[in-house]
Structure 1
Amino acid sequence: MRTAMAALVAAVAVGGCTVQAPQGDGKGPVRIELPEDSSALSASPRADDGKPGAAPTKAAPEVLLAPGDRGRDVRELQARLRQVAWIFEGPTGTYDEATEEAVKGFQGKRGLPRTGETDTVTWRRLLRMTHEPGRWELYLMGGQPAAAPDPRCLTGRVLCISKSSRTLRWMVDGRTVTTAAVRFGSEYTPTREGVFRVYWKSRHHVSTLYDSPMPYAMFFSGGQAVHYSADFAARGYGGASHGCVNVRDEAVIAELFQEVRDGDKVVVYW
């Protein structure tokens, strides 16, 4: 039965030593002991024909994470895979096809079954080869926990955008519907702070000033808009906008573009 790593893989026994792993719930480490060899033989007293002395059979290692899973544990897996050059983007926190292929590659290189799922044997091998990722490694491509919403975001329909956590919340009547990682303008072209309104939406917009695409643009202050950025998706925080609020997840911004209406509030705060 699959178990969340935040609860299961807080400490792994390796060669008699205990390796600490971070916790996602902030409650401190939970100590568990995995078998020294999770593929250890599970002896059966009888063969299928009922005769004693049957050869033992191998128990399948427990699956910890698998394609489709999301969350902080997936983010740690991706960060560790990035350390050993099996994945080159993210972490994103979503166990997607790229993560599955990276796990398969890591497993095949070490003679493990290429399942693409992260089981106890795969996880232990990865732990031995990597260090515990810090906050920057975990959130290298964005997606850090969203800051508490500004009080001005708690009523109505609001794009609530925090510069400190570099996140956007789409909120309706005080309830967070969607969150997304965002980046802002540079020191020389800063994103304005304050309370604004969406005054124009342009699905296939191209900047006339910079001759650059701004898909799913939702303008809120002059030429500044919330929009998808392929550059942000590829480079993360290695770049900056010209004042716009860049979103790196195209699926998220496409959904937001459908939901947000002209006149909806935009709050940009630190």
Structure 2
Amino acid sequence: MALSTAAVAQATAAPGAPPACTAPTGPYQRQLEQYLKRPVDGVQSPADCEAIRRFQAGHRISPARGYADLATYRALVAVQARSHPNAAGACPVRSYRVTCVDLTRQLLWVQVAGKVRFGPAPIRTGRDSQETRPGWHTIYRRHRDNRSTLYGNAPMPYSQFFDKGQALHGHPGSLFDGGGSAGCVNLSLGDAKALWDLLRTGDRVYVWGTKPGTAG
């Protein structure tokens, strides 16, 4: 029986070497190619695949298989914003802690007097018709092991409520397994715990922008 090209490549790889990278072209191919200084043609090549896979492995994106998916793109946006997430000045600078929620870039960070204390971290905000509400908010309740009473007892670990039931909280599993939340700001479990440890009741939250794919 004839073997596929991928199977042949895997069978002939050096012992201990990773399997050949065979992921197809992804929806965020061009963005990854540009950042990784690959030819920007929007078409996956073996070298593109390897470069994307190395980026995924370096940023703990699973599965790291070289496919330019939404999770990888959101990580890329966070990496690009890392040195100065508030370069555009959209999040107000105050002497106290402000949690900045950028709906357009789907990023969250915390700043004090312009200095970043946390993030930027990828987030998932409200889907169309259930958008995360923009403007100034205040964290008014915190619950470490909260569960949703509206959405099937869904877990909401490290919940920090800031506006009429909308909360910053962890999301078990992938942040990118659907079109958006029901209005909450979802973070990875690790990021949600770090944010929980940093913030307190009474801290301010500022939300602005428009989530891609929503009417805003």
State the partner residue of 1:188. Answer: 129
Q: CA RMSD in A?
A: 3.3
Larger Rg: 1
Q: Does 1:252 align with 2:186?
A: no
CA contact (8 A) 1:203 1:216 kept: yes
Written as runs of structure 1 = structure 2, the 5 A alignment for 1:174-213 is 174-179=114-119, 180-210=121-151, 211-213=153-155
Where does structure 1 differ by over 2 angstroms across 4 or more consecutive aligned residues? 21-24, 76-81, 90-93, 95-99, 135-138, 140-151
8 Å contact 2:124–2:175 — kept in the other structure? no
Give the distance between the partners of 1:228 and 1:190, measured in 2 at CA: 18
Alpha-carbon offset, residue 259 of structure 1: 1.0
Cα distance in 1, alignment partners of residues 197 and 175 from structure 2: 26
- Change beyond 3 A, Cα 1:264–1:207: same
- 1:213-243, CA deviations, whole angstroms, 9 ceiling, x for partnerless residues? 110000000100000112xx42616331110
Partner Cα distance (1:229, 1:136) in 2: 16
1:243 partner letter: G
Q: Provide Cα deviations, 1:34-59, integer angstroms capped at 9, x if missing partner.
A: xxxxxxxxxxxxxxxxxxxxxxxxxx
**CA shift at 1:186, angstroms?**
1.1
CA distance in 1, matches of 2:74, 2:92: 29
Matches within 5 A, 1:7-156: 22-23=34-35, 79-80=52-53, 91=56, 93-94=58-59, 138-139=72-73, 143-144=77-78, 145-146=80-81, 147-148=85-86, 149-156=89-96
SS at match of 2:129: coil
Q: Which of 103, 110, 114 lines up with 1:170 in the alignment? A: 110
Q: Percent identity?
A: 28
**For residue 86 of structure 1, what is the aligned residue in structure 2?**
none
1:153 shift after superposition: 3.9
Q: Which runs of 5+ in 2 are unaligned?
A: 1-32, 39-48, 210-216
Distance in 1 between the 2:159 and 2:51 partners? 30
Alignment CA distance shift 1:182-1:137 (3 Å): closer
The alignment status of 1:242 with 2:182, answered yes or no, reads yes
Number of residue pairs aligned between Structure 1 and Structure 2: 159
Looking at both structures, which has the greater relative contact order when contacts are Cα pairs under 8 Å and sequence separation is at least 6?
2
> Matched residues in 2 for 1:158 and 1:228: separation?
19
TM superposition score normalised by structure 1: 0.50
**Ranges in structure 1 where 5+ consecutive residues have no aligned partner:** 1-20, 30-75, 82-89, 103-129
CA distance in 1, matches of 2:35, 2:76: 19
